Amino acid sequence: MKIKAGIIGGTGFTAGELIRILMHHPDVSIDFVYSTSKAGAPVSDVHTDLTGDLDLVFTDKINSEVSVVFLCLGHGNSKVFLENHTFGEQTKIIDLSNDFRLEKHSIFKGEKFIYGLPELNHESIKSAKYIANPGCFATAIQLAILPLAAGKLLKEDVHVNAVTGATGAGTALSATTNFAWRDNNFSHYKAFNHQHLAEINQSVNQLQAGFKEEILFLPNRGNFSRGIFANSYTRFDGSLSEAHDLYQNFYDQAVFTHLSKDEIHMKQVVNTNKCLIHIQLYKNKLLITSIIDNLLKGASGQAVQNMNLMFGLSENRGLQLKANYF
C-alpha cells in the first residue's frame, strides 16, 4: 500500500518541488494539496511545468488520516495551523518552517519534533513521528562544520560567507526579489544575525558540548535562481590529510553528502539532493566549501529523505535526481 501524502501550503517553491518529487516517488501517492487562496484551481495552474502530468486540484479541506503531512508554510504559520487542525494518531508530520527546529520549541501537544538533519540524527529520525526540517543555509553550513564539532576541534570562531539564489526568498514579490533588482546585482543581508544561526549552534553543541565561540555568518543574495555556495573557515591545527580522514569518516555512511578531492562548483548539485564538500588548508586555517540546492537538500528533497527514513524505505528512494550540469 502506498504512503498517502498531504501537502499544506501548496503554491510556493518548496511545495512545487515537493509535488515534483512525490508524483514520481514509487511508494507515494499525493492525496491532497491544500491552499486556501487557490482552492478549486488545478495544481498545474500554479506549477505550470506540470501541465499534462498531474490532474490534482488545490483544496481547502484536509484528509486527517493521510500517512504523512508536509507543512510548506511560512515561518510562524505551522504552529498556528496545527493548533487549528488535528491529524490522525498514525499521521507523521514533516514541517519545513522554523517553528519547531529549536529544542526549546520542539514539543507540541506532547509530541517531540526531531531535528531532521539525517547526517546528524539518522537513527532518531527513523523512529520519529514529527520532524522539523532544517533550514537551507543551516543545512549547508552544518554539513561543512559538524565533522569538526564531532572531533571536538572547533577551538575558535567560525567564519562563513555564503550566497543563495533568488528562490531562497520565496515566491512573494519584494524590493529585493524582482528581476530588475536581482539581475547583475549582488548584496548581503542579515549579517551576523540570520535566523538559521540558532539551529546551527544547537547542532554544533550537540556534538561539541560547551562550544561558546561565534559563528560569524554573512549571507548573500545571488543573481541566480537556485543553489547555495558556502565557504566556512576556522582554525585547524592538523594536516590536510588528517582533515580529509576526519570528513571521510564522518560521512562514510551518508547517502547524499560527499567529500570531493577536486574544487567544486554549484551546478554539480543544482536539482539534486546532494551536498558536496571540498576542504583545503592554508597555514592553520581550514577552508570548507559546501554546496547544495536550496530547494532540495535545503528543503523539499531533505523532507522526502526524512520521510523515507521514517517509513523504513531506502534513504534515496525517489531522490535519484539529475543535476542541471550545463
Give the number of residues written for the chain: 326
Which residue bears the cell 592538523? 238
Residues 168-207: pLDDT tens digits? 655 555 667 677 777 888 899 889 988 899 999 999 999 9
Judged by DSSP in three states, 283 sits in coil
DSSP 89: T
What does the alpha-carbon distance between residue 190 and residue 114 come to, in Å, rounded to a whole number?
27
Yes or no: say if 9 and 72 are a contact pair by the CB < 8 Å rule: yes
Residue 52: predicted pLDDT: 94
Q: Identify whether the C-beta of residue 5 lies closer than 8 Å to the C-beta of residue 87.
A: no
* C-alpha cell read off for 228: 547555495
**What confidence score (pLDDT) does residue 230 get?**
98
Query: Sheet of 187-188: strands edge to edge?
Result: 187-188, 215-221, 158-164, 228-235, 285-292, 275-282, 257-259
Q: How far apart are CA 82 and CA 78, in angstroms?
A: 6
The pLDDT mean for the chain works out to 94
DSSP 2-56: PEEEEEESTTSHHHHHHHHHHTT-TTEEEEEEE-SSSTTSBHHHHSGGGTTT---
Q: Which of 28, 66, 120, 136 is catalytic?
A: 136
- What is the predicted pLDDT for the residue at 154? 98
Percent of the chain with pLDDT over 90: 87
Tens-digit pLDDT profile for residues 236-250: 999 999 999 999 999
Closest CA relative to residue 301, chosen from 76, 130, 133: 133
Q: What is the rounded distance in angstroms from the CA atom of residue 206 to the CA atom of residue 101?
A: 13
* Domain range summary for the chain, segments of one domain joined by +: 3-133+299-310, 136-292
Residue type, 65: E
pLDDT at 15 over 90: yes
Fold assignment, 3-133+299-310: Rossmann fold (3.40.50)
CA 216, CA 176: separation in Å to the nearest integer?
A: 23
Angle between helices 197-207 and 136-150 (to 10 degrees): 20
CA distances from 79 to 44, 96, 101 (A): 28, 11, 12
Query: Is the pTM of the predicted complex or chain greater than 0.85?
Result: yes
Burial of 267 (0-12, 13-18, 19+ CB in 10 A): middle
The rounded percent of the chain whose pLDDT value lies above 70 is 97
Q: What is the pLDDT of residues 17-56, one digit of tens each?
A: 999 999 999 999 999 999 999 999 999 999 999 999 999 9
Surface-to-core class of residue 23, CB atoms within 10 Å of its CB (0-12 exposed, 13-18 middle, 19+ buried): middle
What pLDDT shows up at residue 262? Answer: 97
Q: Give the CATH architecture of domain 136-292.
A: 2-Layer Sandwich (3.30)
Does 323 have pLDDT greater than 90?
no
Model confidence at 74: pLDDT above 70:
yes
Among 19-23, 112-116, 220-224, 268-272, the minimum mean pLDDT is found in 220-224
Query: Comparing 233 with 184, which gets the higher pLDDT?
Result: 233
pLDDT, tens digit, for every residue of 108-129? Answer: 999 999 999 999 999 999 999 9
pLDDT band at 167 (very low <50, low <70, confident <90, very high): confident
**d(C-alpha 306, C-alpha 131), whole Å:** 8
**In the prediction, which pLDDT does 175 show?**
67
136 tagged catalytic: yes
Give the residue with greater pLDDT, 106 vs 176: 106
Residue 275 has pLDDT above 90, yes or no: yes
Lookup: cell for 190: 542579515
Contact 6, 28 (CB under 8 A): no
